[in-house]
Amino acid sequence: MRSHLLEGKVRHRRARPFTYGLEHDVWYAALDLAELDDLDGRLRLFGRNRRAAAAFRDQDHWPEPSTDIDFDVRAHLRAQGEEPSGWRLTLVTNLRAFGYVFNPASFYLCRDGDGELQVVIVEVHNTFGERHLYTLRHRRRPDPDAPFTAAMDKAFFVSPFIDVDGRYSVFVRDEPDRLQLSIALRQEGAPVLSTSLVLRRAPLGDRSLLRVLLRYPLLTHRTIALVHWHALRLWFRGAPFFRHGAAVRAGDTPR
């Protein structure tokens, strides 16, 4: 099975209008989309589209709630001019922990038949229940060991403390034993926010699932609580507040 767990830390650092940082321990599932039914049949603690201690529901993903996420991702890639036949699609995401999930961002790592990372799709959710996709292609570098690097214009309302302007830079270092994802936001040429995930790979099985469920109890419940806790702290410190306007369309422009 190519699916596995990822454990490590998430870090955020805000540079404007004042410095503010956070760091939390997290775990993610790295799910090979072709293995979802096999995982459902093999593992007692994992379920696809059914109740389980750690559950994956297709409808929790994609702008229009999916019924078959592997099919939808491949259709999206074809619409973007790619031919994903033979590609391996890995979704890095939070599972439903005892029935609840909130995923600020999930990442679809799209590798070709040779295992090279060709496309990264970032699926962003906000607390208004909206979802948005960014489809990123690798900026080729002379160094073959350089991380996956891409950029995208900000086009989706996420935080009331950051305006819907600016440009993201995205870096993905996809290594055999760990995965690093970094996103940096700049507005008017100045750094605003940097976010990173530094995660170690671990096997996925009932024993390892039980371990992370006990080590990080109710992780997704904690995630949404921390979103509001840090928002409250930013508000008390006087961070500018931007009201949510009209919903952004559920599409994307590749950059």
Contact by Cβ (8 Å): 3, 35:
yes
Nearest to 126 by CA among 232, 233, 236, 245: 245
Segment 105-117, tens digit of pLDDT: 999 999 999 999 9
- Predicted local confidence at residue 59, as pLDDT: 98
Q: Which two tokens stand for residue 245?
A: 């306007």
Contact by Cβ (8 Å): 147, 173:
yes
CA angle 96, 179, 136 (to 5 degrees): 85
Contact by Cβ (8 Å): 186, 192:
yes
Q: Which residue has the higher pLDDT, 249 or 167?
A: 167
Average pLDDT over residues 44-71: 97
- Predicted local confidence at residue 253, as pLDDT: 38
Question: Model-level pTM?
Answer: 0.92
| Burial of residue 255 (number of CB atoms within 10 Å: 0-12, 13-18, 19+) | middle
- pLDDT bracket for residue 144 (50, 70, 90): low
Does residue 150 surpass a pLDDT of 80? yes
Does residue 255 surpass a pLDDT of 90? no
Does residue 230 surpass a pLDDT of 70? yes
Could you state, in order of their start, the residue ranges of all structural domains in the chain? Answer: 4-236
Beta strands 96-97 and 105-111 are: unpaired
Q: What is the mean pLDDT of the chain?
A: 92
- pLDDT bracket for residue 248 (50, 70, 90): very low
Which amino acid would we find at residue 87? W
Average pLDDT over residues 134-163: 85
- Predicted local confidence at residue 146, as pLDDT: 80
Number of residues written out for the chain: 255
Which amino acid would we find at residue 136? L
- pLDDT bracket for residue 147 (50, 70, 90): confident
Segment 67-83, tens digit of pLDDT: 999 999 999 999 999 99
- pLDDT bracket for residue 56 (50, 70, 90): very high
Nearest to 217 by CA among 9, 26, 30: 26
